[in-house]
Every structure is written in C-alpha cells, then in structure tokens.
C-alpha cells in the first residue's frame, strides 16, 4: 500500500517545515518536517540547518520507513486512505507506540468504528493536552472513517466533537465511560432529587401551595428522564 497525496499533505500540514533544528514538545531535537534521529539519518543536533529541498528528501525517506513499518503490523487489508491515516498517526507517535496502541488492535480486529475513539486518546504530551494533537487526531480519524463506508457516520460525528475532552493517552475507560463513575453520578443525582423533592414537599405542606407541589413533581420527572437518557446513551456507546 502507498500513502495518498492527501495523507502526505496531512503530515506536511501538521508537522510544518523548520529549517533549523529545534526541541519539540517532548524535548527531542527535530528538523524539517518533524524528522528526528529515531527515524534514521541525518542525525539531528543543536544548530543544524537544512534547506526545504533537503527537508523534502528527508521526509520522503521517513515516510517510506513508516509506511513499511505500518504495513508490516497490519493483519487485514485497508484502503489507501485508511492506510495513510495510520501512517500519519505512526509518524507522529512512533512505530513502537503504534505497535502497542489500541488503534492498531481495533484495526486488526476489524472494528473500524472504534478507530476514531482510539485515536482520540493520543492527544497528550508530558501530561498536557495539546490543541495541535487534538486537531491532528480528528483529521486522521476523518481520513480513516471516510474510507470505511460501513462505519456509522452519525456516531463518528459525536466522537470527533468529544476529542477535546478525551485526554488520556493510555488504554482504559474515561470517567464518562466508566460504569462505576456513571453509577456514582446516577446515585448522587437520585439522592439530590429525592432530597429536593422532600424539601419542596415540606414547603408545599407548610404553605399549602399547589404551585410548589407541582414544581416538586417537575423536578422529580426531569431527574428521572435525565437518568433514563444517560443509561440509553451509555448502552448505545458500549454496544449493549
């Protein structure tokens, strides 16, 4: 498989070109279109400078290395657009991180609908969420999902909008997806609704006001509907 023109443009856009060596967000010496010594020659050092033409040649060699590395790890055929999205991801996080990632596991399991969510976990550097990584992961997910017509697009739209809130670059559930966390929220809400209803009921009895009693009923109904809605969303998200 080969990386597409759009895939190469995505990498160029997010890496940007730097003629002089610099320390990236992770503290690694970088030059050109995101080239580091980990990708091979040339070795990047402080004070190093290259031309844009040299940067293009280095990018071409790096892309060939990463494309070959990604292809060697795939257990099923993909479209070139899907493949290009994964090459961009691997180019950014490194082949070893790609090999260990839940992104690759989802792809090799054929669970293409889960790939955007898996990509969205990789938006942190040194414990901080970087807006550039959020945008890049969303662009890679868009490129991957558009090439997979069987993936549910409505669900994907929600996932992309969630990218800014998904901040853990490690496998596992976020708080909003955790059954334990969800149960705690529901219990707290139910308790609060019960207390509020009791308080409003006492107030209604004290002033004998039907309007206050009606308000108590509205609060209880609203709380119940919210709980039902959240349970349904959780069930849909986890495929229950």
Q: Is 15 a catalytic residue?
A: yes
CA dihedral 229, 231, 233, 236 (to 10 degrees): -140
Cα dist. 169→15, 53, 102, 142, 144 in Å?
Answer: 20, 34, 10, 19, 19
Map residue 174 onto helix, strand or coil: coil
Q: Which helix (H) or strand (E) holds 128?
A: strand 128-129
Given the residues 15, 56, 146, 168, select the one marked as catalytic: 15
Map residue 140 onto helix, strand or coil: helix
**208 burial class (0-12, 13-18, 19+ CB within 10 angstroms)?**
exposed
| Residues with catalytic function | 15
């Amino acid at each position: 498989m080969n990386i597409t023109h759009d895939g190469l443009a995505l990498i160029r856009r997010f890496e940007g070109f730097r003629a002089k060596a610099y320390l990236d967000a992770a503290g690694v010496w970088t030059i050109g279109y995101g080239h580091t010594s980990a990708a091979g020659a040339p070795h990047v050092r402080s004070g190093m400078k290259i031309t844009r033409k040299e940067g293009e040649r280095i990018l071409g060699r790096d892309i060939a290395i990463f494309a070959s590395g990604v292809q060697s790890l795939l257990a099923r055929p993909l479209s070139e657009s899907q493949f290009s999205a994964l090459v961009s991801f691997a180019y950014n996080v490194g082949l070893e991180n790609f090999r260990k990632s839940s992104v690759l596991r989802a792809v090799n399991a054929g669970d293409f609908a889960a790939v955007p969510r898996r990509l969205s976990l990789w938006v942190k550097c040194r414990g901080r969420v970087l807006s550039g990584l959020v945008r890049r992961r969303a662009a890679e997910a868009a490129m991957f999902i558009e090439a997979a017509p069987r993936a549910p697009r409505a669900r994907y739209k929600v996932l992309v909008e969630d990218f800014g809130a998904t901040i853990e670059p490690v496998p596992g559930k976020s708080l909003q997806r955790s059954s334990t966390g969800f149960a705690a929220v529901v219990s707290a809400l139910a308790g609060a609704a019960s207390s509020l209803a009791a308080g409003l009921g006492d107030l209604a009895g004290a002033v004998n006001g039907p309007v206050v009693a009606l308000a108590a009923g509205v609060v209880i109904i609203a709380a119940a509907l919210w709980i039902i809605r959240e349970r349904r969303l959780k069930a849909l998200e986890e495929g229950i």
